[in-house]
Structure 1
Amino acid sequence: MTEQTVQAPTPTRARLLWVDVAKAFAITLVVVHHVVTFAKAPGWLPDAVVTLNDQAATVRMPLFFLASGLFAAGALSRPWGVVARKRVLFFAYLFLLWTVLRFALFQVVPDVRPHGLDGDLPALLRSPLLPGTGLWFIYALAVFSVLAKATLRVSVAVQLAVAAAASAVVGSERLWIDNLAWRNMATYYVFFLVGTHLRRHVEAFAARVTAAATAGLAVAVAAGSAVVLRADLETVPGVRLALSCVAVAFGVALAVQVARVPGLNGVVAGLGERTLPVYLLHVPFVAAAVALLEAVLAPRGTAGLLLVPVLTVLAGAASLALHGPARRRLPWLFALPGRRRVVLL
């Protein structure tokens, strides 16, 4: 795809190549996060890797929700019945179905995490109101769709101000929400709104950003993260939100640069178009691999460090490989029963 095609901001175009590239970045960071979460439990990873993964939180889900908001903008302008069926019911169905499937899988697959809730029966029963697993992102998309549709006639400035205030206070943990899912939703809703309501501005930024500006944003994110970490500023309201805004701008800019590279752009965007199966399927693969390795090898040091990229690639590839046959034989795993079309994240 040419640079001109990447840059042209037309609201009627179904997909933007750089947005799919950004989604590929986000889902990769999600898989890395879960690999680190499982691998750090038995003590395989050095503290630096765990810290780096924690710092990636400033871009991981904010970028994912921004991209989701960009694709949701058109859908949310449809009548309530369409929104309820295609976004609310669809995501709620996937969340409930896969929460049950995860519970069943984790009765067989060992969970090395000390506080993992995928196989916990009380957590399963609470999940419709208090999601307790990594599937909370699916839940959030249903909730965000309801909120964004219900407030469609409210001033965008007011919506963004309220969401940003919630993100600043909850993200800094000045207001503590015990449930991870609801805490994250309060923190990241503002990025979904930016994608939904400020799509033209986001596309205009993507159209203008240069390689030099991308490098500058990378330096700003690295320096900002180092300062925040060293000075322990994460509990200052607004600091994490500001850093996330810079990190998301960098994520968008980097996605644009990759989208301008022939050959590479198609491969990366192809992953971005298939985030749903990776999101739903990768955790059981990671859990099983880590449990097996802990029983057989118990990797430490360099071996444990190499495990992160290797297991990230293998879990993603296995998820995509399983998705095709599963979708053909059991389409209800990825779509509402009776509707074979799969809506990808």
Structure 2
Amino acid sequence: MDWPDIAKGISILGVVLLHVSLAIPGGQDTMMSHLNALLDPLRMPLFFMVSGFFAVKVLNQSFGELFRGRLWFYLVPYLLWTPVNLYLHRLEGTVFTGRAPGTWEWYSGSMLSATNMYWFLYFLVIFNLFLWATRKLPAWAIVALVASLWLLMPAYSEIEILRKSIIYLPTFLIGAYFRPLISRFAEAATRPKAIVFAAVLYVSGLALGVISNGLRDSENHGASVLWLMNLRDTFAHALGGNLTGFDMDHLPGMIIRIVSLPAGIVLCVWLGRIKPVGEFLKLIGRHTLPIYIGHATGLSLIFGFGLRWNFMEIDNFSDSLWHHTNTWMVIAFACAMLGGYLTYLISRVPVLGWTLVPPKLPEPDKTPAKAQADSHVKAQSAKPMNASTSSKTYGI
């Protein structure tokens, strides 16, 4: 299966481009940023769906196996690299803009609340724990639990963990529980029916986004919309809080991301057929962790300290190409990817590379019965397995 690696490659390149556009004044108004915005319904949802797709073995693991086999490999880079990135980002502001240095409360708060560049690793821990904790529940109970997160929104809508869980937890669970269906759809992704189905859903998602933005931004509401707004406020007040238009966007945002997943799969399958593009995206997709960790360091250390405050001057009306926003978008993107490559090199250094890919934790001593059961499982896993039953687990 090539499409999961291609999906991760597209996602991580979109993430890097998004952060580059935020780092460059006017970067969000460039053509590159507008093209990246079209992938917004796909970028992180594809990432989470693929992560869930390869998390199916969690359903048959003990907590110890879950921690040693998955959580450990997310927690170590998150706990070691997040403080580094927060320090460099804060130091850049302190040196060049006079911002106050970060306090212990700021560092700990950013890590505990996942309001930092590496929040994806944080949520992989939470979502894998949720998948494991609910593995014995019936489907309706899992759906009810996920839906009940909305009951917390009126009183706790400012909490980032709640916001992102509402949007991305469903896509992760879809990847885990619908793996056979996803595999069959990927196999049929080149057929006209699959293409039309995916395109209709994707366009429907875009239309829902337009309608949602229109309702939120409109100043003149009709009687029906006013009735819905009153119903919303009544619901929110009954739960001890309120819901703004931005808060309500999380519901259509979740739906848009779910209905866009088939289009993402079709896109990845077709890109895999374009050999040079597919091979490049697979290469990127197999190294998402060093790129994810390193691109932020590249933006802060290489671009921020080295170029941004010393050489960057943007004037799109200048005759010099050096002053154009698009030029600096390319430069910043190159710096970010260079940071990813340097981080990859660090991952190859003995001992130091453990900060990215830590060594496996030792398994506890096994009883003879447990050892015999494990040998039976290994013997079964040695048999040929099709795409829908493979238990291969990828990193991010």
Alignment of 1:55-66 (within 5 A): 56-66=39-49
| Matched residue, 2:270 | 257
1:199 Cα deviation (Å)? 0.3
Q: Which residue of 2 aligns with 1:94?
A: 77
Secondary structure class of the residue paired with 2:136: coil
Cα distance in 1 for partners of 2:59, 2:96 equals 38
Q: Confirm whether residue 285 of structure 1 aligns to residue 298 of structure 2.
A: yes
1:316 maps to a residue whose letter is: M
- DSSP 3-state at the match of 1:328: coil
Match of 2:343 in 1: 322
Match of 1:81 among 47, 51, 64: 64
TM superposition shift of 1:72? 1.2
Structure 2 vs 1, CA of residues 197 and 216 (structure 1 numbering), >3 Å: closer, same or farther? Answer: closer
Structure-1 residue corresponding to 2:183: 203
Instruction: Indicate which of 353, 358, 361 corresponds to 1:331.
Output: 353
Residue 3 (structure 2) aligns with: 18
CA gap of 1:105–1:290, structure 2 versus 1, over 3 A, is closer
Give the C-alpha shift of residue 104 in structure 1: 3.2
Task: Give the equivalent residue in structure 2 for 1:184.
Answer: 164
Cα distance per residue 1:227-257 (max 9 Å; x no partner): 6235246736742222212322211110111
For residue 222 of structure 1, report the CA deviation from its aligned partner. 5.3
**For the Cα contact (< 8 Å) 1:211–1:257, is it kept in 2?**
no
- TM-score by length of structure 1 reads 0.79
Paired amino acid for 2:7? A
Inter-CA distance 129–187: structure 2 relative to 1 (3 Å threshold):
same
Query: Residues 232 and 300 of structure 1: is their aligned pair in 2 closer, same or farther, counting only changes over 3 Å?
Result: farther
For 1:321 and 1:46, the matched residues in 2 are separated by 29
1:231–1:118 distance in 2 versus 1, CA, 3 Å: farther
Give the distance between the partners of 2:84 and 2:2, measured in 1 at CA: 32
* Root-mean-square deviation over aligned CA pairs: 3.6
Q: Which runs of 5+ in 1 are unaligned?
A: 1-15
Deviation at 1:294, TM superposition (A): 4.5
Give the superposition deviation at 1:206: 0.9
| Percent sequence identity over aligned pairs | 24
Q: What CA distance in whole angstroms lies between the structure 2 residues aligned with 1:260 and 1:62?
A: 22
SS in 1 for 2:275: coil
Q: 5 Å matches for 1:132-151?
A: 132-151=115-134
1:297 corresponds to 2:312: yes
Match of 2:139 in 1: 156
1:25 CA displacement: 0.9
Alpha-carbon spacing, 1:44–1:78, altered in 2? closer, same or farther (3 Å): closer
Query: For residues 88 and 129 of structure 1, do their structure 2 counterparts lie closer, same or farther at Cα, with a shift above 3 Å needed?
Result: same
Partner secondary structure for residue 209 of structure 1: coil
What is the CA distance between 1:46 and its match in structure 2? 2.5
- The count of residues paired between Structure 1 and Structure 2 equals 323
Counterpart check, 1:228 vs 2:203 = no
Whether the 8 Å CA contact 1:69–1:193 is kept in 2: the answer is: yes
19-28 or 86-95, which moves further after superposition? 86-95
**1:163–1:190 Cα contact (<8 Å) kept:** yes
With normalisation by structure 2, the TM-score equals 0.69
Shift of 1:160: 3.5
CA distance in 2, matches of 1:246, 1:205: 14
Q: 2:332 aligned with 1:311, yes or no?
A: yes
Native 8 Å contact 2:30 2:325 kept in 1: no
Q: How big is the shift at 1:45?
A: 4.3
Kindly indicate whether residue 33 of structure 2 is the aligned counterpart of residue 33 of structure 1.
no
Q: Which runs of 5+ in 2 are unaligned?
A: 217-245, 362-392
Structure 2 CA distance for partners of 1:304 and 1:215, relative to 1, 3 Å: farther
- 1:54-91 Cα shifts (integer Å, max 9, x gaps): 66442221111001001111244222211012222332
Q: CA deviation at 1:154?
A: 0.9
Contact 1:217 1:250 in 2 (8 A): yes
Measured in 2, the distance between the counterparts of 1:132 and 1:121 equals 15
- Looking at structure 2, the residues matched to 59 and 222 of structure 1 have their Cα atoms a distance apart, in angstroms, of 13
